[in-house]
Amino acid sequence: MARANPQNAIVLYNYIDAQKNEQNVKESTVEGIIKKLVWLSSYLDHKSFSEMTKEDIMGYLNSKKKPPELDPTHKSIGTYNGRQMVFSTFFQMVM
């Protein structure tokens, strides 16, 4: 991400730094947040976080949904919800 969009990397670094200082999050939680935001950025060809729209984010989240016949245990719903929570918190704090 740092090579593809240095500004996104700075925004992500500042967000993670604030999360560590304000909420004392575990390292594994930090790693999960970083992964989810890097995956979003990659999916959108490293579009700047500030330029991402709700439609961009919903498109990414919907791409993770699977039909019930391919996901009988509905794990994709948990994936969707977990990523949606991270994105919601992130974009509320940084935008």
What confidence tens digit (pLDDT) does each residue in 26-54 have? 999 999 999 999 999 999 999 999 999 99
Q: In this structure, what token pair is assigned to residue 4?
A: 């593809």
Is residue 43 within 8 A of residue 60, CB to CB? The reply is yes
Q: What angle do CA 92, 9, 45 make, to 5 degrees?
A: 90
Looking at the predicted structure, is the pLDDT value of residue 61 above 90?
Answer: yes
With contact defined as beta carbons under 8 Å apart, do 43 and 63 qualify? yes
Backbone φ/ψ region at 81: left (φ over 0), alpha (ψ -120 to 50), beta = alpha
DSSP state of 25: -
pLDDT average, residue stretch 51-68: 95
Give the pLDDT confidence score for residue 78 in this predicted structure: 93
pTM over 0.85, yes/no = yes
pLDDT at residue 95 greater than cutoff 90: no
pLDDT at 1 over 90: no
Domain that holds residue 67: 6-94
Residue 89 lies in a domain: yes
4-25 pLDDT per residue, tens: 999 999 999 999 999 999 998 9
In a domain, 1, yes or no: no
Residue 43 in any domain: the answer is yes
Tell me what the mean pLDDT of segment 52-64 comes to.
96
Give the count of domains, the chain. 1
Q: Is residue 19 one of the residues assigned to a domain?
A: yes
Query: Which tokens sit at 92?
Result: 């509320």
Q: Is residue 21 in some structural domain?
A: yes
Cα distance between residue 74 and residue 9, in whole Å: 32
